[in-house]
Amino acid sequence: MNTAVLLILAASCVFAQDFSGILAGASRQTERNAKVTGLRFNCVPADCKVRPYESIVIQVLVDGEIAVANGDPRKGRLRRAPGAMKVVDKDGGWVSKVFKFPGADPGGYAESGGSALGSILQRVAGDFIVQDSFLYTAPEKTGSYKLENDTEGVKAELTVTVDSNAASQKKPEEFNFGAEDKSKEPYRALAERYAPMFAQETWFQPKSDFPTRFDFDSDWTGDNNWDNMEKGTSQAYIYYAVMETSTHWFLIYNAFHPRDYSDKCVAGSCHENDNEGLILTIQKDGSEFGKLLTMETLAHNNVYSYTNERGFSRGQHNIDGKIDLYEKTHPIVFVESGGHGIYGASMTSHSRYNVSKDEFTGGTGVTFIYKGSADRPKHANDRKVGYELLPILTHWWARATNDQNQRMFDEFGPYEPFGNRPRAKAAIMGKTFLGRKESSNKAKPFWGWHDNNTLKAKVLNAGQWGLDPAYAITQGLRFPADMKVSLDYIYNPYLGIGEENAAPAQTVVITPGTPSVGAPGTSTDTAAILPKEVKEGWVEVEATVDASVVFHLWEKDVTPEVLAGGPVKDQKISSSGPIPSGAGITWSVTKKTGRGTVKIVEEPSASNGNTLKVRVDDSKGGADRHVFRVTWKRQ
């Protein structure tokens, strides 16, 4: 096997199993006798000139010597991340957090002269782990500004020129959106009252970190959003939804981004479209807008809970901190760059925003506040950029449940709550945004969200945290004993409650990648979801397995549970459509390649979160490539 293949396999395994820290440590060990002797800079563009408020990439190349037994030291570039980069001149611009250089690396590394494995580890670290670049964002004032890097006591300065005549690094935007009609939004004033302040961290693709509207590129197609990100508008939007019981209001805010990105896009870590959010619980206390009780945020299928009120205690969730407020009523949340997980601003283990100092501790970021207008950030470290609110009910929900010819949503299926709670009136709904770049259909509207903790405990099924927030918050946290909490909705149009024109039940034909909705029907039974045209299907998994693994398959995702042996490598999944659930389905599995046995150990059901579990056992030593196909047929 050649070195290139070894590198690919090593990188795939490492990042898929989140062992990047171990690999980086092993690489550092191969250079334990290395000494930093100098620093060099590589600008993109090479002349280090930038227009006001625009950004350029600065790579820091670390030079040094590696001690070699019984010989002269090896000299050259080290596979080592640089130290902190700072702007020396006052008001001289801003520097992002570090990232892996995005272009062709100039090379020139010194090898340690150690073992072949050590050499491979060094190269993997250099190619996949070592982050050596920063994004410099220029101030408005032209002139020359100095930046300084300090790596292990070795310092070097770089001068950048801010020039209005420099080549622009930004692509022109082709679309602009005007004022919205707000006349038919009955809960608009309430949503404005508590509209959060979003402290959005930015990274090496700042525009990808700006929250915007789904049709930012002037269409409702999901699988062209990655490519259209540059030419689409950067106007700021946040989506909202409202539910009401006799005792509380529930406000849901969604931050949509065209890209979930990283400097190491491996094992499905990046994807087209991204949508995370938060839910506020507002107590009706006799005043016009009530009292904010709790805030729950979503970050990568995990819910975090916050409150400033006494008497609350943990339920399924811990209380993760207090709620910071902007102008007394607007909760402040931190949104991470790249992956866009949302956390409370003062949660020190996750947040990189200092509320009191109004600064991003990791580098750069933009703060967005509600102004009723969709403004554009001027640069990657802007402050108090205004955003507009858009109602999810009319912008998204209608398309997810009624639109017959849309390419916005995919993976249609029913909402099946736990706890004998109300179901949605729409028989099925699109649970993911249609996306294909990097990974397929990873972004979800709030009715597709789930929390790993409550799903595993079979307390809240997928979608229930957002569609049934009254029930969800009473499961996540314990309320004070003297506080009345009604679980009966006065208004929840997503469940068909309090809505004048509720979405009718539907019969749906599902075609992978291009879902369509047929004519309205009259039945809301699960069996009506899959008509004669879709009575059978399949899902196929490929993976390199060592010993015993249980594969958890849900919708179009697969998660390996290693029972014995090494980690699963090079995993792939393909299917005819989402994995169904319910009674009257016959399941079978066929091993196509691989040693040992393959068997279904648990069929999907409401009680296990509609998860299909398949076990692979390979008793022979060493890993082997396994391919198996599960087929299903509805009786």
Q: What is the mean pLDDT of the chain?
A: 86
Residue 392 clears pLDDT 70, i.e. is over it: yes
User: How would you class 591 by CB atoms within 10 Å of its CB: exposed for 0-12, middle for 13-18, buried for 19 or more?
Assistant: middle
Contact 239, 254 (CB under 8 A): yes
CB half-sphere exposure, 610, CA atoms < 13 A: 22
Q: What is the structure's pLDDT at 555?
A: 67
Contact 259, 208 (CB under 8 A): yes
pLDDT tens, residue by residue, 17-64: 444 454 445 444 445 678 999 999 999 999 999 999 999 999 999 999
Which residue reads 């009624």 in tokens?
Answer: 402
User: How would you class 21 by CB atoms within 10 Å of its CB: exposed for 0-12, middle for 13-18, buried for 19 or more?
Assistant: exposed
Type of residue numbered 323: I
Which of 18 and 526 is assigned the larger pLDDT? 18
Which of 511 and 181 is assigned the larger pLDDT? 181
> For the chain, first and last CA: distance in Å?
48
Q: What is the structure's pLDDT at 365?
A: 98
**Continuous H helices in 132-287:** 188-193, 225-228
Confidence of residue 106 (pLDDT cuts 50, 70, 90): confident
Least confident of 466-475, 552-561, 624-633: 552-561
The predicted model gives 463-483 an average pLDDT of 96
Least confident of 88-97, 195-204, 272-281, 518-527: 518-527
- Spatial separation of the C-alpha atoms in residues 366 and 420, rounded to whole Å: 43
Most confident among 11-15, 320-324, 506-510 (mean pLDDT)? 320-324
Q: What is the pTM of this model?
A: 0.76
Which residue reads 């590198």 in tokens?
Answer: 7
pLDDT tens, residue by residue, 567-611: 788 888 888 877 887 778 999 999 999 999 999 998 887 666 678
Residue 492 clears pLDDT 50, i.e. is over it: yes
Q: What is the structure's pLDDT at 124?
A: 54
Q: Among positive and negative, which fits the CA dihedral 163, 165, 166, 168?
A: positive
Least confident of 118-132, 150-164, 333-347, 400-414: 118-132
Nearest one of 219, 243, 192 to 393, comparing CA atoms = 243
pLDDT tens, residue by residue, 430-443: 999 999 999 999 99
Q: What is the structure's pLDDT at 265?
A: 84
Contact 331, 323 (CB under 8 A): yes
pLDDT tens, residue by residue, 232-282: 999 999 999 999 999 999 999 999 999 999 998 876 679 999 999 999 999
User: Do you find a cis peptide bond into 102, omega within 30 degrees of 0?
Assistant: no
Q: What is the structure's pLDDT at 582?
A: 74
Q: Which domains does the chain have, with CATH numbers?
A: 3-162 (2.60.40.10), 196-484+497-507 (no CATH), 535-634 (no CATH)
Q: How far is CA 40 from the centre of its chain?
A: 34
Contact 102, 169 (CB under 8 A): no
Residue 188 clears pLDDT 90, i.e. is over it: yes
Q: What is the structure's pLDDT at 4?
A: 43
Least confident of 165-179, 353-367, 523-537: 523-537
Residue 517 clears pLDDT 50, i.e. is over it: no
**Residue 630 CB neighbours (<10 A):** 22
The predicted model gives 88-96 an average pLDDT of 97
The secondary structure element, H or E, covering residue 124 is helix 116-124
User: How would you class 188 by CB atoms within 10 Å of its CB: exposed for 0-12, middle for 13-18, buried for 19 or more?
Assistant: middle
- Spatial separation of the C-alpha atoms in residues 206 and 228, rounded to whole Å: 15
DSSP per residue over 513-541, as a string? TS-EEEEE-S---GGGSS-GGGSEEEEEE
Percent of the chain clearing pLDDT 90 (strictly above): 66
